[in-house]
Amino acid sequence: MIELKDVSFSYYKGPKALNNISLNIKKGELILLLGESGSGKTSLARTINCLVPKFFDGDFKGEVNVLGKPTKDLSMVDLSSMIGTVFQNPRNQFFTLDTTSELAFNLENHGINPELIKSRVFDIFNDLNINHLKDKDVYKLSGGQMQMVAIASACALNPEILVLDEPSANLDRSSISDLIELLKIFKSNKTTVIISEHRLYYLKDLVDRAFYIKDGEIKNIFKGYELYSMNDRKRLEYGLRSLNDDSILIKNKPSEKDENLLEFKNLSVGYKKPLISKMNLKIESGEVLGIIGENGSGKSTLLNTISGLIKEISGEILFNGKKLNRRDRQKLCALVMQEPSYQFFMESVEKELTFGIKNYDENKLNKYLQDMNLKNIKDNDPLKLSGGEKQRLAILINLLDNKDVFLLDEPSSGLDYKNMLVISDEIKKLQEKGKIIIIISHDYELLSEVCTKIIYYNQGGFIKMT
C-alpha cells in the first residue's frame, strides 16, 4: 500500500528532517506518528503524501511507492485523487471563500458531474455533522471549525489514503467525538489513515500501529494495544501525552499578589452581531483563567477584543478601575494568537526575538532559547518551523514584552508533553510575577497544570465556573 525505502530528506538550507527511513503500511491500517515537536513527524507525513519532495525543496534520497506505483512517476493531480491531506494549519489548504465551494473544489478539478458533486457535498456535511457550517465564509470560521472543513474537503474524493497532521489540535470535545465516528467509518471502509498527533486519548481502540520518531528516525514501533497499555512511567519516558480522557483537575492556586484588577462590565464582543453578550467578570493579579467552549462560540474574538485588536460592541474593559480604549489595551496586553505565523516578521528565530532591540544581551537571549527548547534552531526561518516550535517562539516573543496581561489562544497546540510542561512553567513564572493570564484551550492537561479558575462557555453564554 505505502512503502518507503531508505528515505532521507533535508529541507533547502535547513537541517536533516528524515534519516534513512524504511516502512511498510498495509491497506486499511490506522497509523499513528508519535514524537516530540520537530522530531520529523510532519516531514514523514509530507513524504507519504508526496509534498516532499514535489513541493518542498531540499535534498531527497530514497524511494516512495504508493498503491504499488513509484511516486516519482506520478503527477500531483494523480496523487490528489489517491491521497487526501489535512495540514497542521488548515488555512494553508483553502482555495475558495466559502465552505460549500471548498468541499466541491477538488471534485470539480477532477471533472465530476455537477449533480454528483452536489450529492457528495451534501453527504459530507451530514457525515461529519457540520451542516451548521454550510455556505459560511471560511476565513470567518474559528480554528476548530476550519479544522473540520479541512477534514471534510480531504474526504471529498473518497481517497484510499488520508494523511492527517494534528487533526484534533483546535477541536472541542463535541467535534472530537465527530472525528472519532468518522475514523471508525474510514476503518470500516478499509481507508488507510496516517495521523500525526500529540493528543492521544481519542485514538484509543482505533490505532493499529504507532511509529515513535526521534531525530528524523523511527526509533520504535508499537502495536495499538501496546501503546495504550503503557504505564505512566514508560509513557513519560517517551514524552507522550495522557492516554486517557481525563477531566480537568485544577492543581494551581492564585499567587498572593493582588496589585492589579482586570474587569469586564456588560461586555459584548463579536463582529456584526454579538458572539458573547453582557459578560461581567473580574480577574486579579496572579490568577490564571482558562476558558473552554464550543468551536465558534466567540472565545478567540474575546481575546482579540481584550487585546485591542478589534473594538467591543458594547460594555467596558477596565484596569484598576480605569476604562480602557483600544490603544490602552494594546499597550497593556500581550497576545499569542491561535495561528502564531501571523506574528512573525523576520527571517530567523534570533532576529524575530531581537526585532526592535538595539543592544540585546546575547547570553540572556541564549538562556531564553534554551529554556524554550529553541536554541538549536535560532538561525531557522520562523515560518518553516514545526507547529510546536512556532507556538513556543510566539510565546517567547511575548514573554520578552513585559506586559501586565497575557492572552494565550491555544498555546499548547502542536506541543508534546515535555514542551507542554515547558509552557506550563513559563505561565507559572508569569503568575508569580503577578501577571493576569487568560488562556483559551481545549487541552485539559495544560489547563489542569496552570489554571486557578476555569470558565465553561458555549454559544448560549457562560455555563459554570470552577
Domains defined for the chain, CATH in brackets: 2-237 (3.40.50.300), 261-465 (3.40.50.300)
How far is residue 61's CA from residue 10's CA, in Å, rounded to a whole number?
A: 9
Residues in Cβ contact with 73 at an 8 Å cutoff, skipping those fewer than 6 apart: none
Report d(CA 401, CA 121) in Å as an integer.
46
Pick the closest to residue 410 from 198, 144, 210 (CA basis): 144
Residue whose C-alpha cell reads 489513515 in the numeric block: 193
Residue by residue, pLDDT tens for the chain (466 residues) are 899 999 999 998 777 899 999 999 999 999 999 998 889 999 999 999 999 999 888 999 999 999 999 998 988 888 888 999 998 888 888 999 999 999 999 899 889 999 999 999 999 999 888 999 999 999 888 888 898 899 999 988 899 999 999 998 888 888 898 899 889 999 999 999 999 999 999 999 999 999 999 999 999 999 999 999 999 999 999 999 999 877 777 888 877 777 899 999 999 999 888 888 899 999 999 999 999 988 888 899 999 999 999 999 999 999 999 999 999 999 999 999 988 888 899 999 989 988 866 667 788 888 889 989 898 888 889 988 888 889 899 999 888 888 999 999 999 987 889 999 999 999 999 999 999 999 999 999 999 999 999 998 776 566 556 6
- What pLDDT does 142 receive? 84
HSE of 411, CA atoms in CB hemisphere, 13 A: 34
The alpha-helical segments, DSSP class H, found in 40-113 are 41-48, 51-54, 76-82, 99-109
Q: Write out 104-133 in H/E/C secondary structure.
A: HHHHHHCCCCHHHHHHHHHHHHHHCCCHHH
Q: How far apart are CA 383 and CA 351, in angstroms?
A: 13
